[in-house]
Amino acid sequence: MKRTIALLKNNNELRVVEEEVDIYLEIPHLAYAEVKKKDGGKAILFTNVVDKKNGIKFQEGVLMNVFGSYKRCELIFGRTIESIAEEITKLLHMKPPEKFFDKISMAGELFSLKNIFPKRTTAKAACQQLKYLDESIDLYKLPILTTWEQDGGPFITMGQVYTQSLDGEMINLGMYRLQVYDKNHLGMHWQIHKDSSHFFDQYQKAGKKMPVSIAIGGDPLYTWCATAPLPYGVNELLMYGLIKKEGAKLVKSLTTPLYIPHDVDYVIEGWVDTNDMKIEGPFGDHTGYYTLEEPYPVMQVSAITMKKERTYLATVVGKPPLEDKYMGWATGKIFFPLLKTTAPDLLDYHMPENAGFHNLILAKMQPHYKGHAKQFMHAFWGAGQMSFVKHAIFLDEKAPKLESYEAVTAYVLDRFTPKSLFITEGILDALDHSSPETLVGGKLGIDATAAYKLDAPQLLGDEELLARVKEVMPDALNLHQYMRRTKNPITVISVNKTKNAKQYFDALVELSMHIRIVVFVDAQKNDIFNSYMLIWRVTNNIDAQRDIFISGLMVGVDGTNKNMLDGFERRWPDDVDCTQSVIDSLKSKGIWDLNEKVHEKFQL
């Protein structure tokens, strides 16, 4: 961490905040504002950290937003992201050599791979310079942040969670949020699809407690490895070795059989009683909504160790854009070669930040036959973490660059008809709140690889169209049309909702000569002229099986919050919003410097 801080400082990528700031809301609010700045702002080191509630002044600083720009990502990786992807591609396509010198060359390459494996050492570890056991264990002595006002408590957000299978043969490194219940208990938010949850099932069936070791800090690359979407049973620290060209050096935990990197800043060790579940949450998560309370396993802490000189690493999640934008960019580039093994005709893919990654994917492919794109959709929805994607748009090889949103949108809309839609059902991320039931819901695919000939609608101006809409739909408050130059303009209508949106859609069918795609959003908390946040809201709020309506060439999308009017029986969560009094406090200290226009654009 010292080397990382020096690296960031030398590259003008570090902001140091010396004013006194609280672990309750103040630090995460400031980091949340920083990452909203152009190019992700800077990493922030807070050097004067307190817990006012418990009267604690911490010795260590808190570092945030370390991955929060393309430049910082590559500084931490120590090389270009593309070079790592190229190396993986080369490994995947390695063929048996035919000539003698080819054999020598391959032998050298294979020999160098021996250095990527983690190496265990018995040397004295920096991460165990200070040891707290038994009665001296106290999680509140760590500067663990409470990020949002409705959060269930403090949460560790950048924990490297090390677990192993019951037989000890498989090691997993994952990242899961970890709620502090008291001084020696943590909530383990590993979802049922995760490797640690599979290991948990093994221990539960055997009637045994499960060992867990949680590391914080050290080389930030350990933390990124915890998010790497590797196949089940593959140790994520192999990616560290592949990138760094040297294996991670591991030491044994004091009270569990697990090994952790020797140079991390903190280690929290413990055991999970597989019969003990406790309500975890709520937590303002990366969807921009609070995830609601659910029962999750509990870890009883058996030891805490740390460096004498240490830095606490954390992140903040909520509405986009966030630090995970840049971490996700690196992950997408690096693991593209692995995804192509499942979908070989895939040319490129991109997950827009404002759709929260799993809510929307854009993919470019080489179509070879009718229905090829739909076949691709099935492949995507069956491939590892891609199976959580809710909405996928597939384009052919002639489409614009996927990051060129305006051009891509026009390309899709000029080729679209309701025939392009493909709606099915599949698994969802546990954080999804919009489906009628947890973990399963609607999936929407759009096949834009084939062009359909159609005429443009008879366009009206916004004011004239709004007047016509209000005649048949009195709950309409405002209206704006996007992409009017295309064959399928998008009409966004804000409503004071008093009925199911399908009824609104049915009422608008008589205006179908003027409307092609209509999107309904609640008037409250939505700015119909802010396309960035509308995409965030709508992709979060829809379940394709329930919220897509079709009549002729007209398609409706219900992006409103759901309630009993929609037959929705689950509790709808609140948006993640900053606390105004905390912003006012940070302004009074002279350290909140976010431009008001940026504040409004990203709806803080």
State how far the Cα of 242 lies from the Cα of 82, in Å rounded to an integer: 14
User: Do 390 and 518 share a domain, yes or no?
Assistant: no
CA-to-CA separations, 537 to 146, 289, 402, 450, in angstroms, rounded? 24, 10, 21, 28
402-430 tens-digit pLDDT: 999 999 999 999 999 999 999 999 988 88
> By residue range, what is the domain housing residue 405?
342-448
Task: Grade residue 112 by pLDDT with cuts at 50, 70 and 90.
Answer: low
- Total domain count, the chain: 3
In a domain, 173, yes or no: yes
* Confidence (pLDDT) at 58: 97
Mean pLDDT, to the nearest integer, of 328-353? 86
Whether 21 shows a pLDDT value over 70: the answer reads yes
- Calculate the average pLDDT of the chain: 92
567 within 8 A of 310, measured Cβ to Cβ: no
Cis-peptide into 282, omega within 30 deg: yes
Mean pLDDT, to the nearest integer, of 533-551? 97
* Confidence (pLDDT) at 93: 55
Whether 110 shows a pLDDT value over 50: the answer reads no
What CATH number is associated with residue 181? 2.30.110.10
User: Do 185 and 296 share a domain, yes or no?
Assistant: yes
User: Do 492 and 431 share a domain, yes or no?
Assistant: no
User: Do 404 and 301 share a domain, yes or no?
Assistant: no
188-202 tens-digit pLDDT: 998 776 778 888 899
Mean pLDDT, to the nearest integer, of 25-47? 96
Q: 85-89, 126-130, 429-433 — which one is most confidently predicted on average?
A: 126-130
User: Do 246 and 353 share a domain, yes or no?
Assistant: no
Whether 369 shows a pLDDT value over 60: the answer reads yes
CA-to-CA separations, 493 to 402, 469, 475, 478, 482, in angstroms, rounded? 27, 9, 10, 6, 11
What CATH number is associated with residue 388? 3.40.1670.10
Q: What does DSSP assign to residue 436?
A: S
* Confidence (pLDDT) at 147: 97
For tokens 């740390």, name the residue.
306
User: In degrees rounded to 5, what are phi and psi of residue 440?
Assistant: -135, 140
Mean pLDDT, to the nearest integer, of 202-221? 96
* Confidence (pLDDT) at 103: 47
Mean pLDDT, to the nearest integer, of 60-66? 97
In a domain, 457, yes or no: no
435-479 tens-digit pLDDT: 999 889 999 999 999 888 888 899 999 999 999 999 999 999 999
Instruction: Provide DSSP, 245-290.
Output: SSPPEEEE-SSSS-EEETT-SEEEEEEEEEEEEEEE--EE-TTSBE
Whether 544 shows a pLDDT value over 70: the answer reads yes
445 within 8 A of 476, measured Cβ to Cβ: no
* Confidence (pLDDT) at 113: 66
Q: Which residue has the higher pLDDT, 230 or 458?
A: 458
* Confidence (pLDDT) at 386: 80
In a domain, 335, yes or no: no
User: Do 140 and 275 share a domain, yes or no?
Assistant: yes
User: Do 130 and 6 share a domain, yes or no?
Assistant: yes
In a domain, 210, yes or no: yes
User: Do 160 and 54 share a domain, yes or no?
Assistant: yes
In a domain, 93, yes or no: no
Mean pLDDT, to the nearest integer, of 489-514? 97
* Confidence (pLDDT) at 312: 98
* Confidence (pLDDT) at 198: 86
Q: Which residue has the higher pLDDT, 114 or 275?
A: 275
User: Do 177 and 220 share a domain, yes or no?
Assistant: yes
**What are 455's two structure tokens?**
């005429």
Hey, which residues does 64 pair with through a beta bridge? 44
* Confidence (pLDDT) at 518: 98
